[in-house]
Amino acid sequence: MTFLNTIKNKIKSKSKNINRAQVVDDNFKEFVKNLKPSEQPVNFADFGFTNDEFMDMFESQVMSRQLDLMARALRLENKVFYTIGSSGHEGNVMLGRLTRHTDPAFLHYRSGGFMMERSRYVPSIDPIYDTCLSFAASKSDPASGGRHKVWGSKELWVLPQTSTIASHLPKAVGTALGIEMGKRSASGLPIPDDSIVVCNFGDASSNHSTAQGAFNAAAWAAYQGLDVPIIFICEDNGLGISVKTPAGWIERNFKHRPGIQYFQADGLDLAHGYRQVKRAVDFCRFERKPVFLHLKTTRLMGHAGTDFEVDYRNIDELIAEEAKDPLLKSAELAVNSGLMTADEILDLYETMNKRCMDSAYKADDLDRLVSQDEILKSLAPYTPDNVKKQTLKTVDKDKRIAIFGNEKLLPENQPGKHMAILINKGLMDIMIKYDNSLLFGEDVAQKGGVYTLTKNLYKKFSAKRVFNTLLDEQTILGLAQGYANMGMLPMPEIQYLAYFHNACDQIRGEAASLQFFSNNQYSNPMVVRIPGLGYQKGFGGHFHNDNSIAALRDIPALIVACPSRGDDAVMMMRTLMALAHVDKRVSVFIEPIALYMKKDLYKEGDNQWCFKYPDNEEYIPIGEAKIYNNKATDILIITYANGVPMSLEATRKFNKKHPETVAIMDLRWLQPLNTQSICKLAGKFDTILVVDEGRESASVGEGVVSCIIDNLEKPPKISKITGVDSFTPLGDASALVLPNADIIIDKLVKLAKKRRLDA
């Protein structure tokens, strides 16, 4: 008789009880009560572990199970706010045991057993209590400070992971590559050189395009001989909520994937599974190659507390899965090895139940987050004085001369130049100043970028610091997170703004949220460079001229910067790098492509849009705008990027016939908007014109208008010129959906007329 049948026979409860947590709990007690040692005692040495190791793993499994049962019970009392559990997946204790607590781990929500077991490496941690604090959204939760139920721990190198399935895979791959990169980096590696990355997810999640991209990226890198020490652990329970994974699909899909070594392990039986898991972990650690560990599990008690499996699974199927409960198997092993009696197991089970319940009540007694200030504390750390100090740290001149060639070639000794050249030189200085910085993306190395912005950087700083990635924006941003996790300062480039959007979640849900969800214990500082916006003369159509900024502006904590001229661009990049270095923040630097090569402002050959390279300690504080014609008192134009030279041109033409004085405010920082400085200036005018090249809906302009109306007691009259809510057409037709100087002049004329009538 098979093990499964034996258990099935022993399980008396075949009721249609919809509370399957109760059934699973009863089954365990019932099963253990009836356990008798077998006539052929089990010897754990045969399975590759010691008695003590077994006892630890079994205890961790029980701890994890009791946490799940506690959560179901106390959810009803409103003391716990999360019920997705690990029941049926407790075999992942084997990974907790067989990896090190310094191996960075990116987990999914069924990693309770793993966490209980990994915690043994740091005895001061009480993983039950810590988990209860997280369940209770307590301010004392050591992982997130009460912001989310996450598996996370600074000491255990478990980077907190929230809810989006598969979104952690790109950064897990990035971290694996970062381990190898960090060994050679100036900042060194924060973990041992032979560390590996642990990355867990479910069977359904393995189909997600984000996951597929990460598998591909790992294989792509390994194929080229790079070390990619990552163990992907697919915890296969056969279901994604209610949708069945086709039988055999995971094996079929991953067994023969080039560049990723496939291993399979029994996650339901420690005796069978341990050596299988060990083989996979050892292979990854010693070979430094990507591994796919297919860990067979089952899912007990439904997807979450709110999920009634009886709606979509028949009772016989449920009973069959419940019979596979890995805790039953471990209990049997405990008895058959002679290590524990049935009573001792029940005692352990009840002791852990009490520990969980007591810890949960204790956690419930502690403070919760009760004010916005508390919630926001870890969202966007910002210490302007430290950022300033960091920008003022100058770089050794000899080092600069070595890179730029000779004193005369230092950019500050050169005549004024257009934006593309100034950004290029600015990046060189940044690479010199931050010797742990990395620059990467599509075509950035030998080619020097589509618009030559990164030209020569590859030659000067070598492929170790300037390199091409594969063509996948999710991977590029995943790499950035991974390198940052390993102590480096990444500057990823997304080739065009339109292509940020297909990888947006890597910033929105992941990079920008890490400080928040880890209570600022973990961070992934980076400056993402994105060429974008419209007006490329007759070139490219929508995707090369995308002017959508809304998707960036509503990402909490993200700084969005957008210069209109080369000297500003250099100084703003310096600020962002200092911010990344000091406060570990994530920012996006939008480079207006159409201004890259712009040299003239009013007429051909005037060179008025070329600027001198700023001295090395010059920078622009976040939020500081630039005002043109600051003596003007009649009309204020608020704008950014292409809107700045366009407004200057329009104003000059307008002033040929009209006496009204017009000031122009270049916002430079699009998120967060500097409410104070906008309102201070806007308050001095009775007429405001917002010139926004972005689309009308959800534009920067909307933000500016509402900021003025909200904050000024007597708001001035405000008009707006924006792009049209359209995709950008090809060729000259693109001009029809974007603001231009003539439209601005027309508007200024109307506004001036109205002012005169009102006066």
Q: Which positions touch ligand TPP (CB under 6 A)?
A: 110, 163-165, 201-205, 235, 237, 239-241, 299, 303
Indicate the residue among 58 and 201 with the shorter CB distance to ligand TPP: 201
Q: Residue 77: is it exposed, middle or buried by C-beta count within 10 angstroms (0-12/13-18/19+)?
A: exposed
Two structure tokens written together for 474: 């999710």
- CA dist 596 and 637 (Å) reads 23
CB of 277 to ligand TPP, least distance (A): 18
Indicate the residue among 203 and 332 with the shorter CB distance to Mg ion: 203
CB of 480 to Mg ion, least distance (A): 29
- CA dist 327 and 352 (Å) reads 14
Residues 229-258 that bind Mg ion (CB under 5 A): 237, 239
For tokens 């356990």, name the residue: 35
CB of 244 to ligand TPP, least distance (A): 10
For tokens 């102590």, name the residue: 487
Rg (CA), the chain: 30
CB of 375 to Mg ion, least distance (A): 32
If you write DSSP's letter for every residue of 455-491 in order, what string do you get?
A: TTHHHHH-TTTEEE--S-HHHHHHHHHHHHHTT-EEE
User: Which partner, Mg ion, ligand TPP, none, binds residue 452 by CB below 5 to 8 Å per kind?
Assistant: none
User: Which partner, ligand TPP, Mg ion, none, binds residue 285 by CB below 5 to 8 Å per kind?
Assistant: none
Q: Which residues pair with 158 in a beta bridge?
A: 105, 153
CB of 90 to Mg ion, least distance (A): 15
> Which of 174, 175, 176 has the alpha carbon at shortest distance from 229?
176
CB of 85 to Mg ion, least distance (A): 13
Output the CA angle 280-108-581, nearest 5 degrees: 95
Amino acid at 684: K
Indicate the residue among 340 and 512 with the shorter CB distance to ligand TPP: 512
Task: Count CA atoms within 13 Å of residue 100 on its CB side.
Answer: 11
If you write DSSP's letter for every residue of 717-752 in order, what string do you get?
A: EEEEEEE-SSPPPSGGGGGGGS--HHHHHHHHHHHH
Other residues' Cβ atoms within 10 Å of the Cβ of residue 45: 9
For tokens 């390994």, name the residue: 222
Which contiguous run of DSSP H or E holds residue 372? helix 372-376
Q: Which residue has the closest beta carbon to ligand TPP?
A: 202
Q: Does 426 bind Mg ion (CB under 5 A)?
A: no
> Which of 363, 317, 347 has the alpha carbon at shortest distance from 132?
363
Is residue 104 helix, strand or coil?
coil
Q: Which residue has the closest beta carbon to Mg ion?
A: 202
CB of 208 to ligand TPP, least distance (A): 6
Q: Are 453 and 427 in contact (CB under 8 A)?
A: yes
Indicate the residue among 204 and 582 with the shorter CB distance to Mg ion: 204
Selected range binding Mg ion among 88-96, 194-202, 666-674, 748-756, rule: CB under 5 A: 194-202
- CA dist 365 and 379 (Å) reads 25
Q: Are 237 and 205 in contact (CB under 8 A)?
A: no
Strands 105-106 and 197-202, sheet pairing:
parallel
Residues 6+ away with beta carbon under 8 Å from 348: 58, 59, 62, 340
Selected range binding Mg ion among 200-208, 248-256, 329-337, 618-626, rule: CB under 5 A: 200-208
CB of 454 to ligand TPP, least distance (A): 33
Indicate the residue among 211 and 271 with the shorter CB distance to Mg ion: 211
Indicate the residue among 254 and 685 with the shorter CB distance to Mg ion: 254
Indicate the residue among 53 and 203 with the shorter CB distance to Mg ion: 203
Is residue 578 helix, strand or coil?
helix
CB of 512 to ligand TPP, least distance (A): 17
User: Which partner, ligand TPP, Mg ion, none, binds residue 485 by CB below 5 to 8 Å per kind?
Assistant: none
> Which of 162, 218, 152, 84 has the alpha carbon at shortest distance from 510?
162
Indicate the residue among 174 and 202 with the shorter CB distance to Mg ion: 202
Indicate the residue among 168 and 278 with the shorter CB distance to ligand TPP: 168
CB of 70 to ligand TPP, least distance (A): 20
User: Which partner, ligand TPP, Mg ion, none, binds residue 165 by CB below 5 to 8 Å per kind?
Assistant: ligand TPP
User: Which partner, Mg ion, ligand TPP, none, binds residue 241 by CB below 5 to 8 Å per kind?
Assistant: ligand TPP
Indicate the residue among 203 and 692 with the shorter CB distance to ligand TPP: 203
Exactly one of 56, 68, 180, 203 binds Mg ion (CB under 5 A); that residue is 203
Q: Does 111 bind Mg ion (CB under 5 A)?
A: no
Q: Does 202 bind Mg ion (CB under 5 A)?
A: yes
| N-to-C CA span, the chain | 98
CB of 239 to Mg ion, least distance (A): 5
User: Which partner, Mg ion, ligand TPP, none, binds residue 163 by CB below 5 to 8 Å per kind?
Assistant: ligand TPP
Two structure tokens written together for 304: 């979450």
User: Which partner, Mg ion, ligand TPP, none, binds residue 110 by CB below 5 to 8 Å per kind?
Assistant: ligand TPP
Indicate the residue among 309 and 692 with the shorter CB distance to ligand TPP: 309
Residues in the interface with Mg ion (CB under 5 A) total 5
Q: Residue numbers of the site for Mg ion (CB under 5 A)?
A: 202-204, 237, 239
